[in-house]
Structure 1
Amino acid sequence: MNKQSNGTSFWLIALAFLITMVGTTLPTPLYALYQQHLGFGPTWVTLIFAIYAAGVILALLAVGSWSDQLGRRPMLLAGLAMGAVSAVIFLCTDSIGGLLVARLISGFSAGIMTGTGTVAVIEAAPKRWQANATLVATAANMLGLGLGPLLAGFTSQLLPWPVHLAFIVHLLLLLVAAVAILAVGETVQRPASPRLGFQRPSVPAAVRGPFIPAAIAGLAGFSVTGLFTSLVPAIMRQVMGHDQGLMIGAVIFVLFLGSIVGQAWVRRIREAAQMSVGCCILILGVACLGMSIASAQLWLLVLGGALSGIGQGLTFRAGMGAVANAAPAGQKAGVTSALFIVYYVSMSLPVIAVGVSIPLFGLHHSAEFFSVLVALVAIVAMVSMNVARARASNA
């Protein structure tokens, strides 16, 4: 029996999910300050991002299905605890090694929360919200990711303790999130004898139909997300001459706000066209990103972020909703975690490639090349999905 009404539990879990995801992008506007203080180059920034993605994927593989066995609440609390440990390390560290450890643990937090939080929000939805439960879950995820850079940009530019205050604020928010999770009831029936183990990235046969197109579209959408969030601080500082943390955070926030708009818009598009429309908008967004680098125009960068976010949101929401609805009751967290493994691999690979390329070819050439490459991935994803749909209809 839930401690709170179903509606209250629904919003409390969504709030805790959002707060956790704020911490995962909190350091983004601060890397320039860390670089000045610790004296490391752009390749190290790439490694910091890559180790975060590795932490997410490892957590999804190791414990992605555990909430189906142990319950949602224990795993949500574990994700919050990991986020708090990461924030404490950021507060105490004064070395590149400390930053790497903090980001790895932040990845663990995101990996635990991503699959479990998405499913827990959907399960806790009252009847009047069930049609929009997936939107609330994915919007909480994306809004948290967008608010992280905005919060850190604000505190680093306008308040004392530029590299520390954001993490203090986040620790307080995590305390609020923990109280929220303790106040809600369990949303899943735990088995009498839980079976825990390392999750192989496999998908039940009943889910493969919606899973494969969702994964292909996610490859394009999350590649754009990784590319944009990793490049924007350097583009704005080195190409456009804007070094204010708040402005950098605001431009990154536009991407995630666009994602929420795309997620809300998806139901107004007929189901067969949702992925194609999302990929087309992604291509336009990446084109604007490439042109903003070539012309050093901030408005093109903002437009590119908004369009890329809308396209990513369309493909993300359409794919996540189809997969979550098709997953068997006892395997929802595991299947959702498998989809997020694809998404985070898609997000991390362009960032690693860009980090390796910039010292060799420079920021302009590397960013423009990978913008074109991600646009091509979106085109391939759109064509592949249309071919697969045509084959399914003819079968």
Structure 2
Amino acid sequence: MIVTQTSAPVRAWLGAGAALAAVGWGANQFAPLIVLYSTHLGLSPAALDAMFGLYAVGLVPALLAGGRLSDRIGRRRVVLPALLASLVATCLLMAGGRHPELLFTGRFLAGVASGLAFGTGAAWLKELSAESGDASAGPRRSTIAMTTGFAGGPLVAGLCAQWLPSPTVTAYVGHLVVLTIATAAVWRTPDPARTGAKPVAAAPGARGLRRHFLLVVLPFAPWVFGTAAIGLAYLPALVVDRVGGQALMFSAFVTGVPAIAGIAAQPLARAFLRRPRGVRLLPASMALVLLGIGCAAWAAHARSPLMVVLASLVLGVTYGVTQFAGLAEVQHIADPRSLGTATATYQVVSYLGFALPFLLALAENHLHRSPSSLLLAVLGLAAVATAWLAAVTAQQRRQAR
């Protein structure tokens, strides 16, 4: 088997990391502005839900197409158009304050940009880290880069919207600055997928990879963003009526908390990776999923803003560790020649978790159950997934002996 290679400087990964952070910023900067659009523009909850749905409509096919395309033509040739799409999306969102219909197009295009960048960028970081002599750092750096954008976008957008004039415009200015820096960095970043060649150890065949995705990745991946989404979108809505006139700032703060906690959790993720045999990584990180959802159920029962913040911290740590674990697992077993495709496919499955707040709200309305009881039901599902992963990985260890 052949995988391409070039000699990359130790810090060459920063360019790809800046691109991931910039696109992640653009993906999440919209979240704290929901209150603003609802009150100042009179947009209905259905319209705002449609905007979120359009983001996913753009994201999923772009993830699959971007990862596969980057395996063929190189990472930079996909990431640069992603940055351009993110720029156009932000410009449309800035114009959406006067022409609300442009918000729909902007959110769709932000999804396309995220899809093109996330799988490709994570694969690029893995290759650049390997080229500079630290292959295991790729998943950690990808998690930090994306999460930095996820944290910075809503925090800066929310603060600007709260304190600066013309909030529907100034909230997005920070993203334009970040995009400019990232684009300049990407131009100078080497692309190992386009140069050189080096033999590598054989990876599992396509059939074995598909089986591993079905048995291991599919039960695990949705919990990555599922836990994050509980902290980002579900818990804050339960207490927004208890923060008075600071709803916008509270929303911005709570949206950023899980992302910041996810970055701070990376030393814990590295500790998990050092455990004997990597197949134990996913069940170990699922223990944090159980803890995070349990804290969310407790916060939902208390209906306290402080408890929501604390639960979001735990959920953020959970997101940081599980995102690292999932990327490490997939990039370890993937054929290097299809690294972008495998990484993007994993991320498509992980993004299914963002549907969890919507499903919880739907169940609350139709089943007339309390948020805390519904979260306890989710905790039960997570426990089943944890037991399944423990059983499958134990069988894998026995077969490997």
Partner SS for 2:193? coil
**One of 271, 282, 285 as aligned partner of 1:275:** 282
1:54: Cα distance to partner?
Answer: 2.1
User: Offset of 1:2 from its aligned partner?
Assistant: 11
Q: Does 1:296 align with 2:308?
A: no
> Alignment partner of 1:65: what SS?
helix
Residues 77, 181 of structure 1: CA spacing in aligned structure 2 closer, same or farther, 3 A cutoff? same
Q: Is the 8 A contact 2:155 2:253 kept in 1?
A: yes
Let me know the Cα RMSD of the aligned residues: 2.7
Shift of 1:69: 1.0
1:154 aligns to 2:159 (yes or no): yes
TM-score normalized by structure 1?
Answer: 0.87
Q: Distance in 1 between matches of 2:398 and 2:99?
A: 59
CA deviations on 1:180-237 (whole Å, 9 max, x unpaired) are 111222221379xxxxxxxxxxx92343465442332222232122232222442342
Answer whether contact 1:47 1:352 (CA < 8 A) is retained: no
The reply to whether residue 257 of structure 1 matches residue 260 of structure 2 is: yes
Shift of 1:111: 0.5
1:330 and 2:337 are equivalent in the alignment:
yes
Q: Report the Cα offset of residue 62 of structure 1.
A: 2.9
2:235–2:300 CA contact under 8 A, matched in 1: no
1:207 paired to 2:213: no
1:58 corresponds to which letter in structure 2? P
The question of whether the paired residues in 2 share the 8 Å contact of 1:206 and 1:326 is answered with no
Residues 1-395 of structure 1 mapped to structure 2, 5 A cutoff: 6-93=9-96, 94-125=98-129, 126-189=131-194, 204-208=206-210, 211=213, 212-241=215-244, 243-269=246-272, 270=275, 271-347=278-354, 349-354=355-360, 356=362, 365=369, 367-395=371-399
Q: Does the aligned pair in 1 maintain the 2:218–2:349 contact within 8 Å?
A: yes
Q: Distance in 2 between matches of 1:315 and 1:68?
A: 25
Aligned-partner residue type, residue 83 of structure 1 = S
**Post-superposition shift, 1:148?**
1.2
C-alpha deviations, 1:211-270, integer Å up to 9, x for none?
Answer: 442332222232122232222442342255463433322222221122223333123232
Classify 1:177/1:241 alpha carbon distance in 2 versus 1 (closer, same or farther; 3 Å). Answer: same
Deviates more, 1:249-258 or 1:205-214: 205-214
2:322 alignment partner AA: T
Report the alpha carbon displacement of residue 109 of structure 1 after superposing the two structures with TM.
0.7
Provide the C-alpha distance between the structure 2 equivalents of 1:179 and 1:57, rounded to a whole number of angstroms: 27
Look up the equivalent residue of 1:207 and give its one-letter code: L
Q: Which runs of 4+ in 1 moved over 6 A?
A: 1-4
CA distance in 2, matches of 1:49, 1:110: 13
Contact 2:18 2:182 in 1 (8 A): yes
How many residues are matched? Answer: 381
CA distance in 2, matches of 1:79, 1:285: 33
Contact 1:79 1:113 in 2 (8 A): yes
* Aligned twin of 1:196: none
Q: Secondary structure at the match of 2:135?
A: helix
How far apart, in 2, do the equivalents of 1:240 and 1:251 lie? 12
3 and 119 in structure 1: CA distance in 2 versus 1, 3 angstrom threshold: closer
Mapped to 2, the partners of 1:366 and 1:227 lie a distance apart of: 15
Which piece of structure 1 moves more, 304-313 or 274-283?
Answer: 274-283
Contact 2:231/2:254 (<8 A) preserved: no
- Mapped to 2, the partners of 1:2 and 1:388 lie a distance apart of 34
SS at match of 1:7: coil
**8 Å CA contact retained: 2:231, 2:311:** no
Structure 1 unaligned spans of 5+: 192-202
- TM-fit CA distance, 1:358: 6.2
CA contact (8 A) 1:135 1:264 kept: no
1:197 paired residue number: none
TM-score by length of 2: 0.86
Q: Is the 8 A contact 1:89 1:98 kept in 2?
A: yes
One-letter amino acid of the structure 2 residue matched with residue 282 of structure 1: V
- Percent identity over the alignment is 23
C-alpha distance in structure 2 between counterparts of 1:342 and 1:73, whole Å: 24
Distance 1:289 1:9 in 2: 39
Summarize the Cα distance change of 1:370–1:179 in structure 2 as closer, same or farther, 3 Å threshold: farther
Moved more, 289-298 or 4-13: 4-13
Cα distance between partner residues in 2 of 1:321 and 1:141: 15
CA contact (8 A) 1:64 1:334 kept: yes
Q: Distance in 2 between matches of 1:233 and 1:98?
A: 27
Residue type at the aligned position of 1:122 = K
Tell me how far 1:296 sits from its aligned partner: 2.2
Give the conservation status (yes or no) of the 8 Å contact 2:122–2:138.
Answer: no
Q: Take 1:56 and 1:237, find their aligned partners in 2: how far apart are those partners?
A: 28
Gap runs ≥5 in structure 2: 197-204
Q: Give SS of 2:246's match.
A: coil
